[in-house]
Structure 1
Amino acid sequence: MSSQVVIIGGGVIGSSIAYFLRTSDPSVKVTVIERDPSYAKSSSALSAASIRQQFSTPLSIQMSLYGIEFLRNIGNILEVDGSKPAIDLHEGGYLFLATPAGESVLRENHALQRSLGANIELLSQSGLQEKFPWLNVDDLSAGAYGVSGEGWFDGYGLVQALRKKAQSIGVRYVPADVIGLERQGREITHVVADNGQQYACDTLVNAAGAWTRKISEMMGINIPVYARRRSIFNVSSPARLTNAPLLIDPTGVYFRPEGKTYITGTSPSADNDPDDLPLDEVDHNIFDEVIWPTLANRVPEFEALRVENCWSGYYEYNVFDHNAIIGYHPDIDNCVFANGYSGHGLQQGPATGRGVSELILNGKYSSLDLSSLSCDRVLENHPIVEKNVV
């Protein structure tokens, strides 16, 4: 008898899991329930869509190393009937900047990244000035630059490519919202949707992104993942910056090229970051008071900026330790979680899909061991400390 897997959430995480499940075992019946088939409010479509290896934990680095290989070969991997998807991958690199106070952490992270095979270059203050002559380095002591394997891409294109490939190999997508779960003992037996249907499952995957808590609460489980709004601004400037990467200022403000313009943003302060803010609003104050002054200081040519467009999307923010929660929950035998990526879900989607499919089909990880990201660390209060939170 073939297994039935129901995945709640059809963004990059859910669709990646669906793709890897069916690719690994075509006998598995996979149903994806997606509340927003237009992906108008999906984090997969609204994010800054980038990939890096500049993390401070080995597993995050390894997940993104696999992610970049997947993205580089996406045309062949996700080809459907001769049509090869394109996601406009641009390996422009990340540039993490450090003042003297942050240099030691930058150097520690760089040594770890290089030891795992990431192509990251450590630059001195003079090296930064030489490579990026438009950069104000007066208060900087070092920078870490991704020579290759880091950059940005079309996030909406990625989710559509995964979805179309999954559908082509037999995954069923249902446009509906989950309104209930039926449970017998230690298992979820059916998912109840607002289309009047119930979907039987041998395994349930919670990949609901910013709406994770809604699904978890139906199970009687508390997962520390919240919807945190992040505003992104598309700006134009007469500045023409050569070799501009995705730059991370020591303040946390970032920018990167977007064609002939730039996109920029930052996280609000912890005391001004409530849950579930409406996505149809944009935090213009953070641009005026934080982003623009920071950009004008770091790149003097950015004194002249004009906002061309702006939007907001959700981080599925793990307030416990900013890392993904992946794996079975000890209270429910047949429920797998894949949530809480805190801004790096797109780049870790391929590794998650591969790993979760292994866990469901084989009962263990066989490629990259994701067990340290399990729910157990939350229940046992053992956070994974990530120093490079963006």
Structure 2
Amino acid sequence: MTTPLRTKYDTVVMGGGIIGSAIAYFLLKESPGLSVCVVEPDPTYEFASAVRASGGCRVQFTCPENIEMSKFSIDFIRNFEATMASNGRPAPVDWVEGGYLFIVPPENAESIQRNVAVQQAHGCVVNLLTPSELKERFPSMYVDDLAYGAHTPHDGWCDPNGLLWGFRRKAVELGAEYVQDRVKSADCDSIKVRSITLESNVKLEATSFVNACGAWAGLVADMFGMKLPVTPMRRFEHYFTAGSPVEHLPYIKDVARLAFRSEGAGFSGGLVNGNEQRGFNFDVDHDYFERVVWPAVAHRFPAFEAAKCHRTWSGLYEVNELDGNPIIGSWTGGLANLYTSAGFSGHGMMHAPAAGRGMAELILKGRYESIDLTNFGYARVHSQTPYAEAGIL
């Protein structure tokens, strides 16, 4: 729709990507009959971060909230096709339980041992493998410079586009209204948001407003006078093949942020440059694979000495510059009815189900009931106290 059906709603969600759609779904699942409007400027989702992502889902974190969010989200995604069927139409997401493998050199040996102990304490299946065990399981891998590999066999990946549209279709079926428009300004008093005005000059009032605008969340927050340290950062994904046969691989990640996995007859992944200039840049550097990714992947797997890159595309991380973890919750010390779910820094798709459920609990009941996400609240931004993730990002 381009015109809302009413002027006042219980909740207006700004941003109809995977996070916003998950929030809309859980709000209506928990409170049928709630009036929910989702404002999304681009229903094609051409530049949405999730649909340009690799679709990985893993429990290998150290913050308890991240681990528990992953556990819930992975189970939810595993059963997504049936659970989220809409009007008799399945919601396929092509879940692949391919596993994750974090590999570290000797200087990171103690940290990965600590990380694995934390994950196991949360009930996760994590196997700490020595170099000889890695070589036995993945014979194509060069392991002489490694100390350990942490393997989580029940992690995997899915189709991000299927996940987004599954959430959106189900939210609509439950009563969510999606409006194709963009937030232009906000009308606030000293304690709450009264309304927002869209570019079409339509004004929307609501009891609660949610900023789920992903890489654009910082710009939207500015309209409310809220300083949100979320900025867009370009990253590349590549589809490539090896020059000689390589066994099927899990999602491999290392401390230099090389990350890739098997995909069909080839492999999908890249190497994130954390120093990339911030901004809304979707230009593709077609030399990036050969210049940056190929040396790293060929070092780890010599079979990639003759790798061929078939396709490169760009996408945006919504980076929380404070600590890399998401900002979830109401505006502590600010407008009480303005909620934020943004700054996932590359983990938005995998944590969308848990983030959506948590936000719905907070809005509807005033507290978290499943996973306590208080540590991800805005209070740490206000006090400039990072709550950082010690695992490989």
TM (norm. structure 1) is 0.96
Once superposed, what is the RMSD of the aligned Cα atoms? 1.3
Query: Gaps spanning 5+ residues in structure 2: where?
Result: 1-7
Q: Is the 8 A contact 2:329 2:340 kept in 1?
A: yes
SS at match of 1:112: helix
| Aligned counterpart in structure 1 of residue 321 of structure 2, from 294, 319, 322 | 319
| Aligned counterpart in structure 1 of residue 213 of structure 2, from 208, 214, 224 | 208
SS at match of 1:377: helix
- Range 340-349 or range 192-201, more displaced: 192-201
SS at match of 2:82: helix
Shift of 1:287: 2.0
Give distance in 2, aligned partners of 1:163 and 1:277.
25
1:261 is aligned to 266
SS at match of 2:20: helix
2:107 is aligned to 101
Give distance in 2, aligned partners of 1:316 and 1:345.
9
Q: Is the 8 A contact 1:91 1:152 kept in 2?
A: yes
Q: Is the 8 A contact 1:187 1:335 kept in 2?
A: yes
1:292 is aligned to 294
Give distance in 2, aligned partners of 1:297 and 1:334.
51
User: Within 5 A, what are the aligned runs for 1:138-217?
Assistant: 138-148=144-154, 150-217=155-222
Residue 27, structure 1, aligned to residue 25, structure 2: no
The percent identity for this pair of structures is 35
TM (norm. structure 2) is 0.95
| Aligned counterpart in structure 1 of residue 381 of structure 2, from 349, 366, 378 | 378
Letter of the aligned partner of 2:49 in structure 1? S
Letter of the aligned partner of 1:141 in structure 2? A
SS at match of 2:372: coil
2:253 is aligned to 248
Query: Gaps spanning 5+ residues in structure 1: where?
Result: none
1:62 is aligned to 68
1:89 is aligned to 95
SS at match of 2:240: strand
Cα deviation, 1:342-368, whole Å, max 9, x if unaligned, reads 000111111111111010011111111
Give distance in 2, aligned partners of 1:200 and 1:194.
15
SS at match of 1:384: coil
Shift of 1:3: 5.8
Cα deviation, 1:201-229, whole Å, max 9, x if unaligned, reads 11000000000111111011111000001
Q: Is the 8 A contact 1:97 1:248 kept in 2?
A: yes
- Range 175-184 or range 294-303, more displaced: 175-184
Letter of the aligned partner of 2:11 in structure 1? V
Cα deviation, 1:127-180, whole Å, max 9, x if unaligned, reads 0000000100010111001111x1111001100000000000100000111111
Q: Is the 8 A contact 1:268 1:286 kept in 2?
A: no
SS at match of 1:219: coil
Give distance in 2, aligned partners of 1:275 and 1:339.
16
Give distance in 2, aligned partners of 1:354 and 1:240.
43
Letter of the aligned partner of 1:216 in structure 2? A
| Aligned counterpart in structure 2 of residue 137 of structure 1, from 128, 137, 143 | 143
2:346 is aligned to 343
Shift of 1:310: 1.0
Give distance in 2, aligned partners of 1:214 and 1:66.
30
